[in-house]
């Protein structure tokens, strides 16, 4: 009973907030609705017993990715009139994409009703481990059965990250403004930085 109620609550909220993502006039509102959608999707995953995936969804998507989205979108200088002018221009393209999506949906349902695809028999390598928790069985699958694929994915991400850093990194000349060598600053001694002068009365100081 309560599961059904919770499911319909989460599902309705996911769909409603997903609709609001594309309906909201303000891009920042869109991102906030998107975050609500992520959050409710995590709720749905908790209902199916995949609490680890739910926690990851919140940590990764809500906690990091969406913050970056918000970060970028908040700084956009939005001209609403221009946005609406683009609507007419992009209308045919939008209709085309909508038609393609509708066709795919119809094909998909048609194919599904025609019978399932024969993919062979599962080897049993990814069968759920019955007495272990969600986290433990996920770990067993990722780090024992699919270790190589998992590590390869990690290396690809690392390469992408290094690439992004190389593209944006700008080597500044030594001693440029804003560049500091903190250990050098800490190592500085008083006699390197200050000079004691005892000027007589009426005499200036020459530095």
Task: Print burial letters for 147-179: b (CB count within 10 Å at least 16), e (below 16).
Answer: eeeeeeeeeeeeeeeeeeeeeeeeeeeeeeeee
Q: Which is closer to other proteins, CB of 65 or CB of 156?
A: 65
Asked if 176 is part of the footprint of other proteins (rule: CB under 8 A), the reply reads no
Q: Which is closer to other proteins, CB of 137 or CB of 146?
A: 137
Q: Which is closer to other proteins, CB of 11 or CB of 28?
A: 28
Q: Determine the 3-state secondary structure of 55 from DSSP.
A: helix
CA dist 56 and 48 (Å) reads 15
User: Please, what is the minimum distance in Å from the beta carbon of residue 134 to other proteins?
Assistant: 7
User: Please, what is the minimum distance in Å from the beta carbon of residue 19 to other proteins?
Assistant: 17
CB–CB of 78/27 below 8 Å?
yes
User: Please, what is the minimum distance in Å from the beta carbon of residue 167 to other proteins?
Assistant: 18
Q: Which is closer to other proteins, CB of 14 or CB of 45?
A: 45
Sign of the alpha-carbon torsion through 90, 66, 10, 116: positive
Long-range contacts at 6-10 (CB < 8 A, ≥ 24 apart): 6/43, 6/47, 7/44, 7/47, 10/40, 10/41, 10/43, 10/44, 10/47
Number of residues that bind other proteins (CB under 8 A): 27
CA dist 128 and 145 (Å) reads 12
The single-letter DSSP state of residue 198 is -
Q: Which of 71, 107, 112, 143 is in the footprint of other proteins by CB under 8 A? A: 71
Asked if 41 is part of the footprint of other proteins (rule: CB under 8 A), the reply reads no
Asked if 70 is part of the footprint of other proteins (rule: CB under 8 A), the reply reads yes
Q: Which of 16, 51, 141, 146 is in the footprint of other proteins by CB under 8 A? A: 51
User: Please, what is the minimum distance in Å from the beta carbon of residue 84 to other proteins?
Assistant: 19
Q: Which is closer to other proteins, CB of 59 or CB of 106?
A: 59
Q: Which of 88, 122, 167, 182 is in the footprint of other proteins by CB under 8 A? A: 182
Q: 60 — phi, psi (to 5°)?
A: -80, -55
Contact footprint for other proteins (CB under 8 A): 1-2, 26, 28-29, 32, 35, 51-52, 55-56, 58-59, 62-64, 67-68, 70-71, 74-75, 133-135, 178, 182
């Amino acid at each position: 009973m309560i599961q059904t109620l919770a499911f319909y609550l989460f599902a309705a909220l996911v769909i409603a907030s997903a609709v609001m993502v594309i309906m909201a006039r303000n891009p920042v509102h869109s991102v906030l609705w998107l975050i609500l959608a992520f959050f409710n999707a995590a709720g749905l995953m908790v209902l199916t017993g995949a609490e680890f995936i739910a926690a990851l969804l919140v940590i990764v998507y809500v906690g990091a990715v969406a913050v970056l989205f918000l970060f970028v979108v908040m700084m956009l200088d939005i001209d609403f009139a221009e946005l609406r002018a683009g609507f007419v221009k992009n209308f045919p393209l939008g209709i085309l994409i909508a038609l393609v999506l509708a066709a795919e949906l119809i094909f998909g349902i048609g194919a599904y009703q025609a019978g399932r695809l024969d993919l062979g028999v599962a080897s049993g390598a990814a069968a759920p481990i019955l007495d272990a928790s969600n986290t433990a069985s996920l770990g067993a699958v990722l780090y024992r059965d699919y270790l190589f694929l998992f590590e390869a994915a990690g290396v690809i991400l690392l390469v992408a990250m290094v690439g992004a850093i190389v593209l944006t990194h700008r080597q500044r000349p030594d001693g440029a403004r804003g560049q500091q060598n903190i250990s050098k600053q800490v190592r500085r001694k008083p006699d390197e930085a200050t000079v004691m002068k005892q000027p007589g009365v009426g005499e200036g100081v020459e530095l």
